Amino acid sequence: MSVFSVPLSIRWSDIDANRHLRHSVYYDFAAAARMQLLSERGLTTQKFEEFAIGPILFREEAVFRREIRLEDKIMLTVELYKSTPDFSRWSLRHTFLKEDDALATTLSIDGSWIDLNLRKLAQPNEFIKNVFAAFPKSTDFQWIELTKK
């Protein structure tokens, strides 16, 4: 699948006292972009309710390379860079690129699925697996195996 990208509009309220993007806004933009990606592929909040399942994050990490300022034109990409073959565990990378394609920030997450009724980790159904199988994958994508402890 081709790269999933969305242009960002930086708002005045997104800027901190140092005149650059507040750190928490990166996480908000990343969450909105990945939910847009899921929704555009049919995995909407209505489907999550129907399946009584939802995404859960174990880790979020941002690595900041260049400042983003109010007037900057930013493109945010989302791609799958690691997953178990059954898509029960996965990692997504969000890349914030400036207008000249300079890397501003990389935000990575590790996630899984939670049963919304039992509040325990869950296995994705076939619909979710198919959505994730068609996700844009990074050039360094790798399949991973879970180790039992």
In the chain, how many domains are there? 1
In this prediction the pTM is 0.94
Q: CA–CA distance from 149 to each of 6, 12, 123, 146 (Å)?
A: 39, 47, 18, 9
Residue 107 is assigned to a structural domain of this protein: yes
What band does 47 get if pLDDT is binned at 50, 70 and 90?
A: very high
Q: What is the pLDDT of residue 1?
A: 53
Short-list 3, 1, 2, CA closest to 77:
3
Residue 57 is assigned to a structural domain of this protein: yes
**CA 57, CA 34: separation in Å to the nearest integer?**
12
Residue 149 is assigned to a structural domain of this protein: no
